[in-house]
Structure 1
Amino acid sequence: MYQAHPSRVLTELFARRPYQGAPPKTARFLFVGLDANYAADVEQSAIFPALRSYHEDGPTFWRKHGVHHPFLLPEYRGDGRRYHRTFAKIGFRPEHADLVSFIELLHVPTVGRSTLVPDDLDSTHLDRLKDAMFKGQARYVFLSAGVLRRMNDTEQFPELKRASGPSGSLRTLYKDAAREIFLHLHFSNYGKFEAQLQAEAGAIAALLPGVDIQELMMAETAEQIATEIRDRVVRLETRIVQLGDYVGANLRTKQRITIVPANSHSPPGAVRVEIDAMDVSVSRILTELRQHGVKEGGPIDVFCDGRCVFTLHL
C-alpha cells in the first residue's frame, strides 16, 4: 500500500520521466529503489524549483549545481538527505552524470510511509525496468534487499533468484557477458552498518571509468570535512535561535514593568512604577510611562521587591 503524492507537478513529471538522472536504458550505472518519497508540502520548499528542474533533466542539474540531487543543496533541511549523502561518498562526479540513473519499482511519487505489494506495481513500468536491466546499456545494476524482495514477489524477474554469490564487498545476483547485478546495503543505513557501507562504496567506486582510487579517497575525505563543517554550522545556528527564544521568553517573564497609583499621600493622578528585576532599563520604564499617558511630572518612585530603588523626574 502507498499514498500517491498530492502534487500535480510531481505527478506530471513522473508521468513523463518515471526515473531520475540519466535515462535507464542508456545509463551505465543503474540504481533501483522502491518509491520516490517526498514531504507533503514539498511544493512550498525553497528547493522545489531545483527539484523540478532536476526531474526535467537530471544530468544537466548535476553538472550545473555540482551535486547529483536537490536534497544535497545547502538550503534543504528535510528528510532523505542521508541517502544521497551516502551515495555521494561513492565518488560519482558531474562528469559521470550521463552514466547514472535512479529508477523505482513504483511509477508514481509518494508521500508518507509505503509498504508495497505486487498489486501496487505497474506491469508496464516493470517491463521497462526489466528491459533497462537486461537489455539496456547498464553495465552495473544495484538493488537493496527490500527492492529484491519486492521484485521476487512479482515473478517478473526470475533471473534474480539464481544468485551467483559474493563479488568482493558486493554480492552478485546475476552476471552475464554484458552486465552484473549486485545486492547492496540501502544508502539510508548508518551506525553499525558504516563499515559495510564504506566497503561497498569503495567497490562501486572501483567500477567508475578512469577513476584514481587514491585521489578519490582524498576527495572523499575533503568532502567529509566540508560536510561536517556545514552540519556544525547548522547545529550552531539552531542553538543560537533556541537561545534567543529562551532569553526572549525569560526577559518577558522576568522584566515586567507595572504602573500603579501612588500612595494616598501623593497628589491625585500620581503614579509609581513597580519592576521585578534590577536590570530593567530606564528607557523601557520611560516608554511604559508614556504609553500610560505620563509624559511629564514627578517625582516618580520606582520600586523593586517592595522598596524604592530610585526616583525619576520627567
Structure 2
Amino acid sequence: MTSSAHLKELGEFLKARRSELSPRTVGLPDSGTRRRVSGLRREEVAQLASISTDYYTRLEQGRMQPSVHVLQTLVRVLQLEDDQRDYLLDLAGKSGARPRTMARQKVQPQLRRLLDLTATPAIVLGRRMDVLAWNALGAALVTDFAEVPEKERNYVRLMFTDPALRKLYPDWETVARTAVAQLRREAGKYPQDPRLVSLVGELSVRDEDFRTWWASHEVSALSVGTKKLRHPLVGELTLDWDTLTASTDADQQLVVWTAEPGTPSYDGLRILASLAADPTDVRRPG
C-alpha cells in the first residue's frame, strides 16, 4: 500500500507539472482571458485525461491512489520526461516494492575495487546522494571528503554549504539546481527516510535557492553529462561525467569524470593526477 507521504508528494508533483503548461501547449483553445493561477486548470487536465475533475482533484490532494492506466495517461497529458515518469511511478508504488527500513550502506566490494583501479576522478554515491567513497583524484578534483564529518558527507549538502564547491563550478546555479532535482528523485523512492527529511529541512532553512528549487518539484536521474569547472590548481576544465550502477545494490552509483584525450582538460587532469600522487602537494580546492 502506498503511504500517505507518497500520495501527498504525488499530488504536489502533479500540481507543479500542471502549472508549467498552457492551453496552447496541450492543444486546448485559449480564451484569452486572464487566469488567476499559471498553467492548466484541474478541470482541463481531467478533460485531457478522460477522468472526472473530482477524481483528479483527489489525486492532487493526496487522497487517491491512481491506477497504472491513469498514470500513463497523465504522463502523456502533462508531457512528462522519462525521469519525471519514473518518479511518478515510484510515488504511486507502481515500480516495485521498496524496503521499509534501510540499513547503513557500505560500499560494494566490486565498486571499491573499480574505484581504486580508476585512473580518473571518481566517487561512489549512495542513498540521498551520500558520498560513500572516493579515490585520491576525486578528492583532488572536488574536495577533501575525508575532512567532512561522515554524517555531513552528502553531495547536495556540500553543494550548498561548502564555499569551495561554489567556486569550483562557474555555472554553480545550474549544477546546484540539477543536484536538487536529483535529490528530489531520491525522495520519490524514500519519502519517509528521516535522514533525507532532515537534510531537506536543514537546507531549506539555510538556503533560499534550495528552498525555491525544492518547491518546484523538478526531478532528474543521475546518468551522464558535461560540466565546466574552474579548479584552483589546474584552471579551467571541461569534463564529461558518467554513472555506473552497482548490480548488487541499485542505490550505489559510481560517478566518473573524464576528459577528451588531446584537450587542455585532459592535460589538466594528468597534472592533477601527478599532484594527487603526492598528498603533500595537493591543497583542498578553494
Query: TM-score if structure 1 supplies the norm length?
Result: 0.20
Greater RCO (CA < 8 Å, at least 6 residues apart): 2
Query: TM-score if structure 2 supplies the norm length?
Result: 0.21
